[in-house]
Amino acid sequence: MARVTVVTAGGTIVAENHKLEPDDTFSELLEMGILKIPHDPDTILRFQLLSPSGEILKKETRVASRVNDGDTLTFIMVARDPRAHAWIPRVNSDPDCLKCAPEYARSDRFVVMEAVAKDGQALGYAVPELRADKEVVSRAVSQDGRSLQFASPELRDDKEVALKAVLNQGRALEFASERLRGDFAASILWSDS
C-alpha cells in the first residue's frame, strides 16, 4: 500500500494522502482530477498523471510498480490545438484526408474518433498514442475489423477489442496477438466438437 498526493501543475490539490493498493490502477486518480478540476471539455485533448520524475503514468498501469509511499503525482490537462476543430468536418466527409493532416489533427482524439467512425482504416493515420487508446481503437474495429492491424500491441492482445474486430470481419483475426489467435482457434475447435 502507498499513500500519494495528487496536485495540478499550478499547485491545486486533487487528492491528499490518498491510499492506493498495489493492484489499483491510476484510473481512479485521473477520474478524481477530471471531476475536481474545472475545465471545458471541448478545449481539453486529454488528461495525464505524471510521476515525480515526470514519466507519464498510463491509466491502466498498476500502481505497485510505479509509486512509492509519500510520492506526489502531477495531474495535467493537455489542451486541444484550436486548429484541430476545423478538421472534424473534413474527416467527416473524407476520413482518408487524415493521412495528409498535420500532427495536431492526427493527435486530436475528437478528430480521429470522427474519422474512424466513418472508416476504421483511418486509425492507421492516427498518432501512436491514439492507436493505444481503447475507445478509439474499439470504434475503429467496430467500423472495420481489419483496422486492428494499426492498434498498439497491447490492444491487439486485448480480448474485448480483438473480439469486436473479428466479429466485424473474421479476417481481422490475423491481426490479433499470437496469444489471442491461439485462444480463438481453441475456442472454435472446442465449439465444433
Give the pLDDT confidence of 92-136 residue by residue, as tens digits.
999 999 999 999 999 999 999 999 999 999 999 999 999 999 999
Give the pLDDT confidence of 28-87 residue by residue, as tens digits.
888 888 888 888 877 887 888 898 888 888 877 787 778 888 999 999 888 888 899 899
- List domains and CATH numbers for the chain: 2-79 (3.10.20.90), 83-192 (no CATH)
Strand partners, 74: 7, 50
Using 50, 70 and 90 to split pLDDT, how confident is the model at 193? very low
pTM over 0.75: no
How far is the C-alpha of 84 from the C-alpha of 77, rounded, in Å?
17
**Best CA proximity match to 146, nearest among 159, 160, 162, 129:** 162
Write out the three cell numbers for 15. 487528492
Give the pLDDT confidence of 3-28 residue by residue, as tens digits.
889 999 888 999 899 888 888 888 88
Give the pLDDT confidence of 151-160 residue by residue, as tens digits.
999 999 999 9
Question: What's residue 190's pLDDT?
Answer: 52
Instruction: Answer yes or no: are the C-beta atoms of 52 and 73 closer than 8 Å.
Output: yes
Give the pLDDT confidence of 126-144 residue by residue, as tens digits.
999 999 999 999 999 999 9
Instruction: Answer yes or no: are the C-beta atoms of 26 and 57 closer than 8 Å.
Output: yes
**Positions of E strands within 26-177:** 44-50, 56-57, 72-79
